[in-house]
A and B are shown apart, each in its own frame.
Chain A
Amino acid sequence: MKRPAVLITLSTLALAPLASAQDGKVMYEQLCGACHGNDGQGAQEGQFPPLADSAWIKGAPDRMIQVVLHGMMGEVTVPSKFAASPTYNLVMPPQGAALTSDQISKITTYVRTSWGNKEGVITVAMVEAQRKATDGKTDLWQANELLERYPLSASVKVPDENTLSVDVPIRDLLSYVYTGSWDRLPDWGKLKAQAVEEEHKGLIASSQAGKSQNFGLVWEGKVIAPKSGTFTFRIDSDDGSRVIVSGKKVAEINSNGGMGRATEGKISLKQGEHPIRIEYYNKGGGHGVTLGMKGPGLKGWFALSEAGAGKAGSGGGKKMPIYPLTNEAVIYRNFIEGTTPRGIGVGYHGGVNLAFSADNMSMDLLWTGNFMDGSKHWNGRGQGNQPPAGQKVLKVNQGPSFAVLESQTTKWPDTWQKEIKGRFHGYKFNARQEPTFFFTLGKLQVEDKPQALIGGNKFGLQRAITITAAEAAPREVHFRAASGLQVTDLGGGRYGLGDQAVLEIGKGASGKPYIRNNNELLIPLRLKRGENILNLRYTWN
Chain B
Amino acid sequence: MNALTEFKIMRYLTPFLFAPVLASAAPTMADFYQREEIPLPPGEVMEGSSIAIIDKDKVALGTRRGDVWICHGAFGDVDKVKWTRFATGLHEPLGMAYRDGWFHFTQRPDVSKMRDTDGDGRADEFRTIAAPWGIKGDYHEYAFGTDPDKDGNIWVVLCLTGSFNAHSPWRGWCYRITPDGQSIPTCSGIRSPGGIGFNLEGDTFYCDNQGVWNGSSSLKHLKPGGFVGNPSGNIFYDQAPNMGKRPTEPKSGSRIEIERKRIPELVPPAVWLPHGDLGQSPTGVIPDHTKGLFGPFAGQVLVGEQTHSQVQRVFLEKINGVYQGVAFPFLEGFRSGIVPLRLADDGSLFVGTTNRGWGARGGLPFSFERTRWTGKTPFEILEMRIKPDGFELTFTEEIDPKTAGDKASYSMNSWTYIYQSSYGSPKVDQTKQEIVSVTVGADKKSVRLKVKNLQAGHAHHLQSKGVRSKSGRELWHQDAYYTINEFPAQ
Contact = CB atoms under 8 A, between A and B. Distances in A.
B65 to A, nearest CB: 6
Interface in A83-140: 90, 93-100, 103, 138-139
Interface string A28-72: 001101111000000110011000000000000000000000010
A90 B275 contact: no
A333 B424 contact: no
Interface string B10-53: 00110011000100000000000000000000000100000000
Contacts of A378: 45, 64-65, 356
A436 to B, nearest CB: 10
B453 interface: no
A330 B88 contact: yes
Contact of A426 (B112, B136, B215): B112
A14 B9 contact: yes
Contacts of B420: 97
Determine the interface band of chain A, counting residues with CB < 8 A from chain B.
Answer: 35 or more
A331 interface: yes
A342 interface: yes
Most A CB atoms within 10 A — which of B65, B215, B307? B65
Contacts of B210: 98
A90 B210 CA distance: 17
B425 interface: yes
B355 interface: yes
Interface string A373-403: 0100011111111000000000000000000
A433 B424 CA distance: 47
Contact of B359 (A19, A36, A335): A36
Contacts of A344: 89
A428 interface: yes
Contacts of B138: 383
A383 B141 CA distance: 11
Given A44-B365, A94-B423, A34 B359 contact: yes
Interface string B159-193: 00000100000000000000000000000000000
Given A7-B17, A380-B357, A424-B131, A95 B424 contact: yes
A344 B280 CA distance: 34
Contacts of A95: 423-424
B397 to A, nearest CB: 24
B426 interface: yes
B423 A97 contact: yes
Contacts of A23: 12
B12 A22 contact: yes
B125 interface: yes
A382 B139 contact: yes
A310 to B, nearest CB: 24
A381 B189 CA distance: 24
Contact of A6 (B1, B12, B21, B45): B21
A428 B139 contact: no
A199 B123 CA distance: 53
Contacts of A33: 361
A426 B128 contact: yes
Interface string B119-137: 0001111111001000111
Contacts of A427: 126
B421 interface: yes
A23 B137 CA distance: 41
Contact of A99 (B357, B418, B426): B426
Interface of A: 2-3, 6-7, 10-11, 14-15, 19, 22-23, 26-27, 30-31, 33-36, 43-44, 47-48, 71, 90, 93-100, 103, 138-139, 330-335, 341-342, 344, 358, 374, 378-385, 424-429, 431, 433
Interface of B: 1, 6, 9, 12-13, 16-17, 21, 45, 64-66, 88-91, 107, 109-110, 112, 118, 122-128, 131, 135-139, 164, 210-211, 215-216, 275-276, 280, 307-308, 337, 355-361, 363, 365, 418, 420-426
26 contacts: A6-B17, A7-B17, A23-B12, A33-B361, A44-B363, A47-B356, A47-B359, A47-B365, A94-B424, A95-B424, A96-B423, A97-B420, A97-B422, A138-B422, A330-B89, A333-B90, A341-B135, A341-B137, A344-B89, A358-B109, A378-B45, A381-B358, A428-B125, A428-B126, A429-B124, A433-B124
